[in-house]
Structure 1
C-alpha cells in the first residue's frame, strides 16, 4: 500500500516537538530535506548562544530557566517568521511540553502552522537515549516524569505520532500524508 504524500501549498511552519530522544532532530532534518526551500530551525541553538548566565534546563525549572525558555521560544518564532516571509518553509524543532505548547502556537498566529508531536513509548525513548552520545535524562524515572507531562499536561494540538515502530522515513511520510491533521491555528503571542 502506498501512502499519499503531499506538501504544503505555501511557505509554512512545521513545529516538531516531543521528549528528548524522541527523534525530533532527525525527523526535522529529514522532513526539511523533503520540502522545497526549507529551513531546519533548531530551537536549542538559542539557549546555547547564551555565554554567561545561562540557566540549566531540566525537569524542575528555576524562574530564570523558565524566562530563558520562553525567550528561546519567542526568538525561534521570530526567526521562523522572517524565513517564511522570505519564502521558506520552516521546520522548527524543540522540546515544547505542557502548557508551553499552546503558548508557542500563539506565537505563530499569523502563519500557516503544522504541529507534530512525536510520542514514542517511554521504553523506546530509553533505548534511544542509551544509544546517544549525549545524555538528557538522569535515569529511567526521569523519562517517565517527562512522558507524564507530555501525555497528561500537553494540549492535544496537531498530529500526535507514536513513532515507536516507525523508521524516520516512515515518520516523515506519515507527517506529509496527514498535513490536515497537523494543521493548527494560533491566537496571539507570548
Structure 2
C-alpha cells in the first residue's frame, strides 16, 4: 500500500503548483487516545477515521481555493469513498483508484521494512475494495507498473477520472 504514497508524490511533483495531502498524516496527529481501525470496528475508531477524512478533505479544499492542485493520497474503501467525494467542494474533482492484484500487494507489503496493516489481511482489504467500494473514476490495475509507469501508462484516464457532479 506504499505504492499510493509514491504515485501521489510523483503526480504532485509533475504538476505546476501542487500539494500532497496524505491522509495518514492526520491519523498520526492523534498522539494519545488514538484507536486504530480494526476488523472489529469500534465507535471511537470509526469517529477518528471520519475525522481524518474530514480534515484531509478540508485541507485539500483550502489548497484548491488558493490555486493549488491538491493530490490526496489515502486508502478510502467502501461507502467512505462516496462520503469523501461529497466532502470535497472544489471542482474539478478527479478520482483515480489504484487496484493491484492481491499477490502483488502481498509481495509489496513483504518488502516493506515495517508492517503496514498487521490487523488486516490483504484479502480482506482487497474484498473491501473490489466488492464494497463504488466505481468512481478509473480503476487502474497497477500490478505490472512501477509508480512512474502508473502515471504515464494511461494518459487518457484523466477525463475519465473527472467527476462532474462529485
Say yes or no: TM over 0.5. yes
User: 1:119–1:162: 8 Å Cα contact kept in structure 2?
Assistant: yes
User: 1:55–1:64: 8 Å Cα contact kept in structure 2?
Assistant: yes
Matched, 1:76 2:56: yes
The aligned counterpart of 2:37 is 57
The aligned counterpart of 1:14 is none
Gaps of 5+ in 2: none
TM-score (norm 2): 0.93
Closer, same or farther: CA 64–175 of 1 in aligned 2, 3 Å: farther
The aligned counterpart of 1:130 is 110
User: 2:12–2:20: 8 Å Cα contact kept in structure 1?
Assistant: yes
Please provide the CA RMSD for this pair. 1.7
Alpha-carbon distance, 1:175 to partner:
5.3
The aligned counterpart of 1:179 is 158
Alpha-carbon distance, 1:136 to partner:
2.2
Alpha-carbon distance, 1:186 to partner:
4.9
The aligned counterpart of 1:103 is 83
Tell me which stretches of 4 or more aligned residues in structure 1 moved more than 3 Å: 174-177
The aligned counterpart of 1:147 is 126
TM-score (norm 1): 0.82
The aligned counterpart of 1:12 is none
Helix, strand or coil at the partner of 1:90: strand
Closer, same or farther: CA 175–47 of 1 in aligned 2, 3 Å: farther
User: 1:108–1:186: 8 Å Cα contact kept in structure 2?
Assistant: no
Alpha-carbon distance, 1:28 to partner:
0.2
Question: Comparing both structures, which one devotes a greater share of its residues to helix?
Answer: 2
Higher RCO (C-alpha 8 Å, min separation 6): 1
User: 2:61–2:89: 8 Å Cα contact kept in structure 1?
Assistant: no
User: 1:77–1:108: 8 Å Cα contact kept in structure 2?
Assistant: yes
User: 1:175–1:182: 8 Å Cα contact kept in structure 2?
Assistant: no
User: 1:118–1:163: 8 Å Cα contact kept in structure 2?
Assistant: yes
